[in-house]
Amino acid sequence: MATATQSYAYVRPSAVHGSGAGRSLALETSGGATPAGAVENPRFYDGFLTAPTAAAAALLAVAEVASARYFQRSAARSLDPVVTANGDRLRMESFSGCGGVYARLDVLAPGLDGGEIGHGTTNVDINPPLRRALAALGGLDPLHLAVGPDELAVATLDGRFVEKKVPLPERWVRGFAEAQVLGAGFELRAEVPAAEAAALLRSMPRPTQRSGARATRWVMPAGRTLRPVTRPGPGAVCLPGPERLTALRQVLPHADALRVHAPATGESTAVAWEVALPHMRLTLMLSPEASRGFSGEGGVLHDLAGGAAAEDADLVSALLAWEPAVDVAALSRQADLPPERVRAALTVLGTSGQIGYDLAEQAYFHRSLPFSAGAVETRNPRLRRARALVAEGAVRREGAVFSVGAEDHAHFVRGDDAGALSCTCLWWAKYRGGRGPCAHVLAAGMILEETR
């Protein structure tokens, strides 16, 4: 997997200052996108947190995921979390180093007091001293929060005080796209009190150097409880690699409830655990297996293969403005496109990090990741191979069957009564579409679209 280098430049380290009623949390920013364009160190908020202890624990959970590798454990460099200001809330997101756990903290408007919330996206510095200070926060005293330096600090400090350069794997970039596609297909499967969730987590295995988070467990919603079961069954929810939920332990003492989101199917799938906190939500999404991060799920490929999706994405992108909830119907009217084409365009925009998905509100939201996402084909080799097959004339239609590839080694793609395509290749035999379409199905789909 190709890796680039992500550079951060902060005017000073993030830190907790003062004590008692004078405490303040300064989160320093680096290289952000705003409505006014690119800004080196944007300032998105200056006010108070109404639930400071819970917010500190939740921010620590996001930082823990950013610094963790749950599969093939090693001392990975942490990628600083991404913060998006949507005008009425702050969102803080991170991915684990292995690409299999996505974390997001949503601090809603009632959780912020006394300051205007800006618009834009940036990285924030999360360093070891800050993590220790956040872990020590307690009590009922208010906590002032500043996201980004004030103008005086920028003018006074000549140059950058803190610079970091860390590897940025492509799977981390692709994970943002796949997570929002998967989340859009989830349903609310269970809601339980925080005490029940804490009891369930205590019964789950803790991560060790040898565990690798390889186990898959199942839980059955039963009223206002989650009951562990030994195998999948009707109504059961998959819990792949339960060791990867350890970051939730520190926030459950402050939580009101836990909601579990997953597809309706009982097969081994991704799952999201959403913790309801005072005026905040913390969500952890787990990939279907610890050994396979979100980047390889292939959920975006069908939309990316559509000929009109890329052009539609340019139009839809011009209409976005860091909305906390993207209104697909409104975008459809503004762009004069059917809703299904707007959703496909949002998927394309998601591949460059411009779109996320909020499970609690069942709505997309706008962000702009503070790093270069590169070309879509570069990050999706199956899509690149499918386009090459079409360009080479290697897709031949024979009635209801497509022959794809060289004649001596062709694979056959067929459609069922519902129009879903399947293939005779090894990839399809292994995954049965569970990790997205193979290149042959994509190529046949491109020919079908051209025919239409």
- 303 falls within a domain: no
157 and 220 inside one domain: no
Question: Residue 196: in which H helix or E strand, if any?
Answer: helix 194-203
| Residue 429: pLDDT over 90 | no
* Residue 256, both tokens: 């009101």
134 and 250 inside one domain: no
103 and 185 inside one domain: no
- 330 falls within a domain: no
90 and 43 inside one domain: yes
- C-beta separation of 278 from 104 below 8 A: no
391 and 448 inside one domain: yes
Please report where in the chains the tokens 């839980």 appear, as a residue. Answer: 219
* Residue 308, both tokens: 């009109």
63 and 150 inside one domain: yes
Please tell me the chain's helix, strand, coil percentages from 3-state DSSP, rounded to the nearest 5.
30, 30, 35
198 and 73 inside one domain: no
Q: What is the pLDDT of residues 186-200, one digit of tens each?
A: 999 999 999 999 988
Domain range enclosing 432:
380-452
117 and 194 inside one domain: no
Give me the amino acid identity at 400: A
- 334 falls within a domain: no
**Domain C-terminal end among 294, 323, 355:** 294
**Nearest by Cα to 28 from 41, 45, 46, 40:** 41
State whether residue 450 is helix, strand or coil.
Answer: helix
33 and 74 inside one domain: yes
Question: Residue 222: in which H helix or E strand, if any?
Answer: strand 216-222
- C-beta separation of 246 from 257 below 8 A: no
Q: How far apart are CA 308 and CA 319, in angstroms?
A: 17
190 and 77 inside one domain: no
* Residue 64, both tokens: 């823990």
196 and 99 inside one domain: no
> How many domains, in total, are found in the chain?
3
CATH code: domain of residue 257: 3.10.150
Q: What is the mean pLDDT of residues 11-28?
A: 90
Q: What is the pLDDT of residues 220-278, one digit of tens each?
A: 998 889 998 888 888 899 888 888 999 999 999 999 999 999 988 766 788 999 999 99
- Beta pairing, strands 37-39 & 143-147: unpaired
Q: What is the mean pLDDT of residues 281-285?
A: 97
Supply the angle between the helices 339-350 and 170-183 in degrees, to the nearest 10: 150
157 and 202 inside one domain: no
**Nearest by Cα to 126 from 30, 35, 253, 200:** 30
Q: What is the pLDDT of residues 118-159, one digit of tens each?
A: 999 999 999 999 999 999 988 777 899 999 998 665 556 555
Strand partners, 282: 105, 275
